[in-house]
Amino acid sequence: MRARRLFFFLLSLVVGIGAGLVVAWGARPAPLGETMLPALRSDYRTDYILMAAEAFSQDGDLIAVSARLAALGEDSPARAVQLAILAARDLGYSNRDVELLAKLSQALQKFTPMPAAGATP
């Protein structure tokens, strides 16, 4: 009797999870516009920029970090980082995190991207 109850409980659990996944991924997925980077909330946007700053501190690749930050849809990557610094202070990020953002901001201020091949100056 106990084994039968356990079997039906586990079967119900699997069916429920399966039905939830079918509804969430198939029948009613999130609209595409709600999953894009420019639609991120301020705290998630700050986290994304902090992750880019951490990657920059490891590899020093300004071109890659500029491409990551351009996906946020800001006027410039430097402006996105400046806004992230302000948000990080408001959200209580650690001093180390704010310093990483500040170093990235300084590097981006000095960075001049190379024009694309075939572009006229």
Give pLDDT, residue 110: 86
Nearest to 80 by CA among 50, 59, 55: 50
**Do residue 55 and residue 105 come from a single domain?**
yes
pLDDT of 121 > 60? The answer is no
pLDDT of residue 84 exceeding 90 = yes
Domain membership flag for residue 117: no
Count of CB atoms situated within 10 Å of the CB of 74: 18
What number is the average pLDDT over the span 59-84?
Answer: 90
CB 104 within 8 A of CB 52: yes
The answer to whether residues 25 and 56 belong to one domain is no
Task: Say if 115 falls within a structural domain.
Answer: no
Same domain, 56 and 16: no
**Do 99 and 41 lie in a common domain?**
yes
Mean pLDDT of 52-66: 93
- What is the domain range of residue 23? 2-30
Number of domains the chain contains: 2
pTM over 0.75: no
Give the integer Cα–Cα distance in Å for 13 and 20: 11
